[in-house]
A and B are shown apart, each in its own frame.
Chain A
Amino acid sequence: QVQLVQSESELREPGASVKVSCKASGYTFTSYGLNWVRQAPGEGLEWMAWINTNTGKATYAQGLTGRFVFSVDISVSTAFLEISSLEAEDTAVYFCARDPLCGTTNCEDYWGQGTLVTVSS
């Protein structure tokens, strides 16, 4: 069965960096793109980027700074989100979500369980 398993929660100090992983299984990794979505505490969902798992090229949300880098390692069917120069405002749950497979009678949609990144001194 399709699974997206994300890395565990992380606690970092301001200015540090963090790398969140999203490991896919149960399907051919390069057949579907991946979206990254974040949710700050008490806030709504925010789409961050879509990554082409074949090429590693990402389409970023407008306004997302260069501190956020999205990548893939096809050999281990894993996508990564690396955030540098962390700020308190980066505290959020980060989700990965596979492009859905939708037909006339069903739509298969898969999300990771989310990774909480806490930025605090």
Chain B
Amino acid sequence: SYELIQPPSVSVSPGQTATITCSGDGLPKNYVYWYQQKSGQAPVLVIYEDTKRPSGIPERFSGSSSGTMATLTINGAQAEDEGDFYCYSTDSNDNRGMFGGGTKLTVL
């Protein structure tokens, strides 16, 4: 199995672009999913299969992946985007899931 590594925190001003990275040796072979969690709530999926956005998620959220790194980008971050973001993937070798350590996004 492998680990997913995220920066602990990212801070941007409103309207700026927020970038959150997720690195892991298994990412070239496995999709990444991104979740947003606000305090005390269940996580919400904001990006699936590296780059796709579920319906209802604002267009300012986008995802990309290259090699061992996946990236979540929020173009024009807003105060309501604050929260904890987690990348998630599965290891195709053993079907075990894993989350990154999480990144706290602050918009102020």
Q: Which residues of A contact B (CB under 8 A)?
A: 35, 37, 44-47, 50, 59-62, 95, 100, 102, 104-109, 111-114
**A45:B102 contact, CB within 8 angstroms:** yes
Asked if A102 and B99 make an inter-chain contact with CB atoms under 8 angstroms apart, the answer reads: no
- SS of B interface (majority): strand
- How many chain B residues sit at the interface, stated as a range, is 20 to 34
B1 sits at the interface (CB 8 A): yes
Known: A44-B84, A106-B54. A35 touches B45 (CB 8 A): no
B54 contact set on A, CB distance < 8 A: 106-109
> Contacts A35-B97, A109-B54: A62 and B42 contacting too (C-beta < 8 A)?
no
Cβ-closest chain B residue relative to A35 = B97
Q: Is the CB of B55 within 8 A of A44?
A: no
Main SS of the interface on chain A? strand
**Contact at B49–A50, with CB atoms within 8 Å?**
no
Q: Nearest A residue to B37 by beta-carbon distance?
A: A45
> Which B residues are in CB contact (< 8 Å) with A111?
42-43
Contact call B96/A61, Cβ cutoff below 8 A: yes
- Given A105-B55, A108-B54; 14 other pairs, CB 8 A cutoff: A44-B84, A44-B101, A44-B102, A45-B88, A46-B99, A47-B96, A47-B98, A59-B95, A62-B1, A95-B43, A107-B48, A107-B52, A107-B54, A109-B48
B91's nearest neighbour on chain A, judged by CB, is A62
Question: Smallest Cβ distance from A118 to chain B, in angstroms?
Answer: 15
What residues of B have a CB within 8 angstroms of the CB of A37 in the complex?
99
